[in-house]
Amino acid sequence: MRDTTSSCARSEAIETLSGAQLTAWQTDRLREVAIYAYREVPFYRQLWDRAGVEPGLLGSIEDFARFPTISKDDLVQAGNCWTNPHQGSVAFSTRGTSGAPLLVWLSAEEEEAYIRPTMRGFRWAGFQPGMTALLMSPVWHRLAACEAHAIARLGGRCAFFWGSMGTEYTDSFLHTLASERPEFITTTAPFLLSLVRRSPGDATRPHKLFKGVRSVVVVGLPLTPRMREFLRDRLQVEDVFERGGTQEGAATDECRWHTAPHVHEDVCYLEVVDDAGIHVAPGFRGRLIVTKLTTAGSIFVRYDTGDVAAFAPGECPCGCGFRRLKIYGRPESSVLVGDRLITAYDVRMCIEEDPALVGRNVLLVREANTRAGVLTVAVEGDAHDPAKLQARLREQLGVATADIVWLGDLRVNWGFRQVLDGREVRLPGS
Amino acid sequence: MPTENAYLLFDLPGGRLAFGEGDLDIWAEHLTWCYRMMGIPDGATIAVQDFGSSPISFLGSSLLMPGLQRGVAERIGGRFICLDASAERVTLTPALLSQLTVDALVIREDVIELLSAELRKREFAALARRTMKTIVVFGDEPPAFNAARPDSWRHLMHVESTLLLAPQCVKCDCFHLRQGVYEVDGRIVRNLRLAAPAYDLPRGELFPPSHCAAGIGDWCIGWSPRGRGI
């Protein structure tokens, strides 16, 4: 068995570097990755030659910010020119909810790099040796593939339920939960919400099955503070943690202080920029740019995810020096209303001010009249104080009109979608 | 990948399986044999549209599961594409297959119609005609005959809870129960290498060894044309 002690020690040491030390360390990694990408990947060589930037001269974060950003379309168009000779033998798909899906490759070397932060995140979330973890499907996402490896190295047992993350598999999930009695769970937030909000007629009471669960780690939806409380209360688990990540290499995990997920700075360098491409200060929102700090797998250098994100200002009480980043929404989980970009997270924050509406799934509806400043929101369940909610949405989100569609008993397979095209379905009352 | 002391539990339709040290490699070796039996060459790129909790998926590579030293990709020196079998992901498959050439698409039978519908869309019509081996994975219900499906499609019988994996032979069209992996007693099939409940074959015809030159010591399961709905 390979000794993983030294690599764990390294990852622990990096958490305590000062800001300047961490920046210097990351700058070295960025230069290594850029030099490698220039040498081995024609797409980057051509792009950077055109832009007049030289990887060998990269000596600071400011130098790196002069490298051009790239988009998913650029990579899909690049085809084989984007191939890394050492990209590995296993591929995962991006979700394709914002255009064509992209195949992202994973190698053993890259996975090894990402298992370390996965173990770190799970430790932060309270995982202890000997525990049983009920995990997501390893083929769902490249970060999910790291999870079982991390649990095995932390001395735990891995359990898997049959099926996938759609609402049709909640029974299967509950069956495994009842039979294996895990102390630790990783899943998606939409799946968990669907499970909590199963039909009231169902005999199974989820919180009874969650008895003994210490921690639930969720991905796929930025948690609002009230949503976290709702899940903790309904499931009667000790704590709920948000884990974030993209197929393109971003990796974040919350510590027990829940101030915002920490960026695993040893595997990715994340930036938040404004529309002009300038870094924005912590506390302000911008677009998330991802660079992986490894030369293995598919290479992402200054990849513009289109995600709306912000670094958290100040320091976390936990003492970890890693920056904290909240990803508020993806392009596919936001709508442009008039000239304002509204994320599903913003709408949920607003809706959840009414305790009766906390925990309901919410969908934004993209319709032709969004240009005229009309925000349309579909809310799971029966109507509750609609006039007040409409007023709150108008006032807090700065939209001219807010329409609410109450979905009643309509069963929706929530998946990861938070925005619905108005032409896709006939909503109740429409 | 380093060796990991993994203890793995899988909740499956009709049962539950636990794997300890070394078990997964035994199972991955057999799945690789199945692929070779169905004509998948070394170095192939295999795309699998199945749930992550299915061995067809998680045995694809050592990157996917701790305790697995060499998955299918490592054994054939090939590549493995993870395509989850949820409806949401199936709709993405045509666009992904248009980005690279795969040698084999392995897909659960219960999502084949959804994928076919996606492939019939105008922009993917050419993709549907591409020379790609399609392997349809089914449980203990034999696949119904469908004249619209190309003859080149192969089938893989997979009963998860009993660890039964039987590939359709390119030579005899029957499903081979590999010698040394399974023993047959009446209609009861037992896995000799891994601990699993015995399987009582509900339908189909059992042929004793010497039935097919492709596996002279194998028992074979065959379905009559009527049994296949022809």
Count of domains forming chain A:
3
Asked if A284 is an interface residue toward chain B (Cβ–Cβ < 8 A), one would say no
State the Cα–Cα distance between residues A95 and A100, nearest whole angstrom: 9
Q: How many CB pairs under 8 A join A and B?
A: 155
Least confidently predicted of A80-94, A199-213, B8-22, B177-191 = A199-213
Confidence category of residue B31, pLDDT binned at 50, 70, 90: very high
Q: What is the pLDDT of residue B223?
A: 81
A residues 1-20 closer than 8 Å to B (CB): 1-2, 4
Q: Residue A195 is which amino acid? A: L
Higher pLDDT, A301 or B120: A301
Q: Are A193 and A215 part of one and the same domain?
A: yes
Q: Are A318 and A336 part of one and the same domain?
A: no
| Chain B residues inside the 8 Å CB shell of A91 | 79-82
Confidence category of residue B34, pLDDT binned at 50, 70, 90: very high
Least confidently predicted of A336-340, B82-86, B139-143, B169-173 = B139-143
| Chain A residues inside the 8 Å CB shell of B95 | 96, 100-101
The ipTM of this complex is 0.91
Domain that holds residue A239: 110-245
Q: Are A164 and A231 part of one and the same domain?
A: yes
Q: How far is A16 from chain B (nearest CA, A)?
A: 27
Instruction: Name the domain boundary from A298, A329, A360.
Output: A329
| Average pLDDT over every residue of B181-207 | 95
Q: Are A217 and A114 part of one and the same domain?
A: yes
Of the partner residues B4, B51, B92, the one whose CB lies closest to the CB of residue A164: B51
Among A396-410, B25-39, B121-135, the range of highest mean pLDDT: B25-39
Q: Are A141 and A236 part of one and the same domain?
A: yes
Q: Cα-atom radius of gyration of chain A, to the nearest Å?
A: 22
A177 within a domain of the structure (yes/no): yes
> In sequence order, what DSSP letters do the residues of A198-260 get, joined into one string?
S-TT-S--HHHHTTT--EEEEESSPPPHHHHHHHHHHHT-SEEEEEEE-TTS-EEE--TT-SS
Q: Are A337 and A404 part of one and the same domain?
A: yes
- Which parts of chain A have pLDDT scores under 50? 1-11
> DSSP character for B168?
B
A9 within a domain of the structure (yes/no): no
- Cα-based distances in Å from A371 to A67, A334, A376: 34, 14, 12
B79 to A89: CB separation less than 8 angstroms, yes or no: yes
Q: What is the pLDDT of residue B37?
A: 95
Contact A160, B15 (CB under 8 A): no
Q: What is the overall mean pLDDT for chain B?
A: 88
Of the partner residues A92, A101, A180, the one whose CB lies closest to the CB of residue B82: A92
Parallel, antiparallel or unpaired: strands A362-366 and B15-19: unpaired
Contact A98, A332 (CB under 8 A): yes
Q: How far is B71 from chain A (nearest CA, A)?
A: 11
Of the partner residues B1, B4, B65, the one whose CB lies closest to the CB of residue A138: B65
Higher pLDDT, B97 or B220: B220
Q: Are A282 and A223 part of one and the same domain?
A: no
Q: What is the pLDDT of residue A5?
A: 39
A10 within a domain of the structure (yes/no): no
Token duo for residue A371:
């240009």
Instruction: Find the length of chain A.
Output: 430
Instruction: Name the domain boundary from A245, A271, A291.
Output: A245
Q: What is the pLDDT of residue A118?
A: 97
Which among A266, A273, A245, A251 has a CA at the least distance from the CA of A64?
Answer: A273
A7 within a domain of the structure (yes/no): no
Beta bridge partners of B51: none
Q: Are A28 and A88 part of one and the same domain?
A: yes
A361 within a domain of the structure (yes/no): yes
Helices (H), chain B: 23-37, 55-58, 72-76, 87-90, 93-97, 112-120, 125-128
Contact B31, B165 (CB under 8 A): yes
Q: What is the pLDDT of residue B92?
A: 85
| Average pLDDT over every residue of B55-60 | 96
Q: Are A166 and A206 part of one and the same domain?
A: yes
Q: Which of B21, B23, B62, B63 best tests the A interface by mutation, with the highest count of A CBs <10 A?
A: B63
| Average pLDDT over every residue of B24-52 | 96
What CATH number should be reported for the domain holding residue A56? 3.40.50.12780
Q: What is the pLDDT of residue B122?
A: 55
Q: Which distant-in-sequence residues (6+ apart) come within 8 Å of B209 by Cβ?
A: B179, B216, B217, B218, B219
Higher pLDDT, B88 or A47: A47
What CATH number should be reported for the domain holding residue A336? 3.30.300.30
Contact A67, A34 (CB under 8 A): yes
Q: Are A202 and A174 part of one and the same domain?
A: yes
What CATH number should be reported for the domain holding residue A227? 3.40.50.980
Lookup result for tokens 């799945």: B31
Asked if A134 is an interface residue toward chain B (Cβ–Cβ < 8 A), one would say no
Q: What is the pLDDT of residue A328?
A: 94
Confidence category of residue B230, pLDDT binned at 50, 70, 90: very low
A428 within a domain of the structure (yes/no): no
Q: Are A154 and A236 part of one and the same domain?
A: yes
Higher pLDDT, B150 or A35: A35
A139 to B52: CB separation less than 8 angstroms, yes or no: yes
| Chain B residues inside the 8 Å CB shell of A4 | 2
| Average pLDDT over every residue of B141-163 | 80
Token duo for residue B110:
């219960």
Confidence category of residue B120, pLDDT binned at 50, 70, 90: confident
Token duo for residue B197:
């409940």
| Chain A residues inside the 8 Å CB shell of B90 | none
Q: What confidence tens digit (pLDDT) does each residue in A337-364 have?
A: 888 889 999 999 999 999 999 988 888 9
Instruction: Name the domain boundary from A329, A355, A377.
Output: A329
A79 within a domain of the structure (yes/no): yes
Q: Are A269 and A365 part of one and the same domain?
A: no
> DSSP character for A4?
-
Asked if A184 is an interface residue toward chain B (Cβ–Cβ < 8 A), one would say no
Lookup result for tokens 């002690």: A5
| Domains annotated on chain B, with CATH | 8-138+145-222 (3.40.50.12780)
A253 within a domain of the structure (yes/no): no
A residues 66-95 closer than 8 Å to B (CB): 76, 79, 88-93, 95
